[in-house]
Amino acid sequence: MNKIQHLALGLLSLGLLSACTGEQSSTNDRDSVALLSDTTLMEDRVPFRIAEHYFAAADSLPETILSAEEQEQYMGMATTMSARPTAIDWSREFVIPIVLPATGVSTEILPLSLQQRTPGELVLSYRVLRGADLKGAQMRPFAAVIVSRDYLGPVRLVERP
């Protein structure tokens, strides 16, 4: 090899090495749900977890779901080969569901924050993202959050733009 080829190979190796040691973005940088739920730790905010892999079993749901029996009545488990529904400890937690009317447009509900406005009153803010037409198919948009029973009380849902 001549000197130019050695120099080019050295520069290429140096470039690849510096690219591998650069700052890596975390999953949270790209995961909107993780970003939104991580922001729930301010003073008047109540921590919550997203209940994943569930669906609404009815068009109308209560403002809170307090037991496994109620869960079976109002929420179905959408199990897949690689994912299981989020576990809920009913002795220490309850669920706040959000369900929208059936639609022919791809729709996602993103819980934004859960705040305790006055002692005992919770306000769950969420955003609705609408996407592509489902070409004749229908879906019932649904999301749910899991909250400690320490915060159990009346819930008000607020859609944010």
Torsion-angle region of 135 (φ positive above 0: left; ψ -120 to 50: alpha; else: beta): left
Instruction: Specify the pLDDT at position 43.
Output: 61
Q: Does the pLDDT value for residue 13 go beyond 60?
A: no
Torsion-angle region of 111 (φ positive above 0: left; ψ -120 to 50: alpha; else: beta): beta
Instruction: Specify the pLDDT at position 3.
Output: 56
> Does residue 44 or residue 5 have the better pLDDT?
44
Tell me the domain boundaries of the chain: 26-160
Q: Does the pLDDT value for residue 59 go beyond 60?
A: yes
> Secondary structure of 55-109 in the HEC alphabet?
EECCCCCCCCECCHHHHHHHEEECCCCCCCCCCCCCCCEEEEEEECCCECEEEEE
Instruction: Look at residue 122 and give its three-state secondary structure.
Output: strand
Instruction: Specify the pLDDT at position 88.
Output: 96
Q: How confident is residue 14, by pLDDT bands cut at 50, 70 and 90?
A: very low
Q: Can you give the pTM of this predicted structure?
A: 0.71
Find out whether 121 and 153 touch, Cβ atoms under 8 Å: yes
* 74-125 pLDDT per residue, tens: 999 887 767 889 999 999 999 999 999 999 999 999 999 999 987 779 999 9
Instruction: Look at residue 138 and give its three-state secondary structure.
Output: coil
Instruction: Give the mean pLDDT of the chain.
Output: 81
Instruction: Specify the pLDDT at position 4.
Output: 56
> Secondary structure of 6-63 in the HEC alphabet?
HHHHHHHHHHHHHHHCCCCCCHHHHCHHHHHHHHHHCCCECCCEECCCEEECCCCCCC
